[in-house]
């Protein structure tokens, strides 16, 4: 009986020690995902750092005073000035499309608000919010090139932004197009304006905006957009509280009518419904 009691006591002691040591053993082994807490970090430091474009009108660009302005900038201001956050907004220019992900992963920004198309490949690296705008892929071209539809791009010199979804779709819709790659949409558009390219593939809203503002009236756009796609905020993985907060912010932005107001301001049109009818 004494031996049995001693064995039971030793068993209980081992069990207690195992429970106490288990977290440390887990840490010593293979590390799990690194959880984030951007929401509380933003509130604590009193600053929201947003990555956005400063070369992509009307979403984000420089005005005459060199300030970054645009549709996404207005949305970032709404987020920073939200009743809960009420923090200082700091805008960080993102040089290329890929840098939106790079800046998030390196911690340079708290969120990417930069007409960011949510895709499955990109979701391997970061997490996307619910959509705040539905856009598509469009084409802007020199009128003398006589382009009316997507198949007319075959045999034409077409400028694309490297790594963009438009580049992928162009290969499908016009496989014989002569692709010219550029780091930025602005330089691709300049190539069209200077006659170095016949057309440019970009977001549909981008093509409508620039064709209507072409000073020489020599540009037009393909009227039928392709591949309607969601624009979402980009956040780091394993940052659930921040993602929940942003998703609810986007919901309120639409429900309050503020999104419609901002879209009208920059595009003079009503935004497409973010929940499509299948």
Distances from the Cα of 23 to the Cα of 14, 19, 35, angstroms: 15, 8, 16
Within a domain: residue 143?
Answer: yes
Q: Quick one: 62 and 79 in the same domain?
A: yes
> At 29, is the pLDDT very low, low, confident or very high (cuts 50, 70, 90)?
very low
**Other CB atoms within 10 Å distance of the CB of residue 102:** 15
Strand partners, 127: 235
The whole domain housing 194 covers 136-227
C-alpha to C-alpha distance for 124 and 111, rounded to whole angstroms: 16
Residue 29 carries which DSSP code? S
Q: Quick one: 236 and 181 in the same domain?
A: no
Within a domain: residue 30?
Answer: no
Q: Quick one: 83 and 118 in the same domain?
A: yes
> At 33, is the pLDDT very low, low, confident or very high (cuts 50, 70, 90)?
low
Q: Quick one: 125 and 244 in the same domain?
A: yes
C-alpha to C-alpha distance for 159 and 213, rounded to whole angstroms: 19
Amino acid 163: pLDDT = 80
Q: Quick one: 56 and 159 in the same domain?
A: no
pTM for the full predicted model: 0.72
Pinpoint the alpha helices (H) of the chain. 2-28, 38-45, 71-80, 99-105, 165-173, 185-193, 204-212, 240-255, 258-267
**pLDDT (tens digit per residue) in 54-105:** 998 899 999 999 999 999 999 999 999 988 899 999 999 999 989 999 999 9
pLDDT at 17 over 80: no
Within a domain: residue 32?
Answer: no
- Give the total number of structural domains in the chain: 2
pLDDT at 9 over 50: no
> At 228, is the pLDDT very low, low, confident or very high (cuts 50, 70, 90)?
confident
Q: Tell me, rounded to whole angstroms, the distance of Cα 243 from its chain centroid.
A: 14
Strand partners, 92: 51
> Domain containing 250 — which CATH number?
3.40.190.10
| Tokens, residue 38 | 């951007």
**pLDDT (tens digit per residue) in 120-174:** 999 999 999 999 998 889 999 999 999 999 999 999 999 999 888 788 888 889 9
Q: Quick one: 85 and 146 in the same domain?
A: no
Q: Quick one: 78 and 124 in the same domain?
A: yes
C-alpha to C-alpha distance for 221 and 199, rounded to whole angstroms: 9
């Amino acid at each position: 009986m004494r031996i049995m009691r001693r064995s039971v006591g030793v068993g209980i002691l081992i069990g207690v020690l195992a429970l106490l040591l288990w977290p440390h053993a887990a840490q010593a082994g293979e590390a799990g995902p690194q959880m984030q807490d951007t929401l509380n970090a933003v509130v604590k430091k009193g600053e929201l750092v947003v990555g956005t474009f400063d070369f992509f009108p009307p979403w984000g660009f420089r005005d005459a005073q060199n300030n970054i302005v645009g549709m996404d900038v207005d949305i970032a201001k709404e987020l920073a000035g939200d009743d809960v956050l009420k923090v200082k907004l700091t805008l960080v220019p993102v040089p290329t499309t890929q840098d939106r992900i790079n800046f998030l992963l390196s911690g340079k920004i708290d969120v990417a608000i930069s007409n960011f198309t949510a895709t499955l490949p990109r979701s391997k690296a970061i997490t996307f919010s619910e959509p705040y705008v539905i856009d598509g892929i469009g084409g802007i071209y020199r009128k003398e090139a006589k382009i009316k539809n997507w198949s007319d791009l075959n045999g034409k010199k077409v400028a694309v932004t490297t790594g963009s979804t438009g580049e992928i779709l162009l290969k499908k819709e016009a496989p014989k197009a002569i692709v010219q790659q550029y780091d930025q949409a602005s330089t691709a558009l300049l190539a069209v304006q200077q006659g170095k390219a016949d057309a440019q593939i970009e977001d549909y809203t981008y093509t409508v905006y620039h064709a209507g503002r072409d000073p020489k009236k020599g540009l037009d756009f393909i009227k039928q957009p392709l591949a309607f796609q969601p624009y979402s905020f980009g956040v780091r993985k394993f940052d659930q509280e921040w993602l929940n907060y942003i998703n609810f912010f986007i919901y309120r932005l639409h429900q309050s009518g503020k999104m419609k107001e901002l879209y009208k301001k920059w595009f003079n049109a009503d935004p497409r419904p973010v929940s499509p009818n299948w």
